[in-house]
Amino acid sequence: MAVRDGERTKGAILTAAEDLFARQGFDGTSMQQIGEAAGVARSTPAYFFRSKEALYDEVLARVVARAEEALAAGRHQGEERSPDDAAASYVNALVDLLSRDQNLLCLVQRESLGDGNRVAPFLGRLAEEAVEVFTPAAEAAGISPHRLVLDMVALSWYPLAHEHTLLPALGMKPRKPAFLDEQKRHLADLLHALTRGGGRSPEHVPR
């Protein structure tokens, strides 16, 4: 194994920076901390990435690329299934992604406390894709696909974004597999209830 390997070092710095930026935010993280966490000198992160901001941009880009890959897989998995199954499959992929990739959630959350400019393109694509996936289900339910996307994302996102605040107060542990399974079931049931029950005959809720 090479003692000096630029790509490996860059990777280590990116990973360390991602964890620290996610946990402490941009302002709360110093290049010194990043260097220490990556096992390099204080000045090495700047050597490879020019500036703290450029490093942050690359961290974000990598996280977003991971997310898009995961969601594309979830979308592909639901192809050629019934409308609400396709939607449920996409929601499952979203729940899995958010619960697995804590850094993604934290970083996007932090960005959305700013102006959100840096993640806007990513969310634009996500929204477009999700609307496409949910449109059949939304038509069956007689509601706007945008509304359906918003509700599903909100219900998937919120518990994990507030796992240390409201969720403990409600006695819930949103990262436990038991919760995540129930969460997926709950969202799928909601979709079913809307498309079967909400559209025409509200009295009967299947499943």
Partner DNA sequence: GCAAACTAGCTGAACGCTCAGCTAGTTGTC
Partner DNA sequence: GACAACTAGCTGAGCGTTCAGCTAGTTTGC
Site of interaction with a second copy (CB under 8 A): 25, 27-28, 106, 108-116, 119-120, 123-124, 126-128, 131, 146-147, 149-151, 153-155, 157-159, 161-162, 164-172, 182, 185-186, 189-190, 193, 196-198, 200-207
**105, 18 Cβ separation under 8 angstroms:** no
SS3 204: coil
| Partner whose footprint covers residue 180, from a second copy, DNA, none (CB < 5 to 8 Å by kind) | none
In the numeric block, which tokens belong to residue 49? 């990435």
Handedness of CA 130, 135, 137, 141 (dihedral sign): positive
SS3 5: coil
| Partner whose footprint covers residue 52, from DNA, a second copy, none (CB < 5 to 8 Å by kind) | DNA
One-letter identity of residue 181: D
Q: Which is nearer to DNA, 23 or 42 (CB)?
A: 42
| Partner whose footprint covers residue 61, from a second copy, DNA, none (CB < 5 to 8 Å by kind) | none
Q: Could you say which of 16, 17, 31, 87 contacts DNA (CB under 7 A)?
A: 31
**91, 152 Cβ separation under 8 angstroms:** yes
Q: Which is nearer to DNA, 41 or 73 (CB)?
A: 41
Q: What is the C-alpha to C-alpha distance for residues 196 and 141, in angstroms, rounded to an integer?
A: 7
Contact residues: DNA, CB under 7 A: 2-10, 29-33, 35, 40-44, 46-48, 50-53
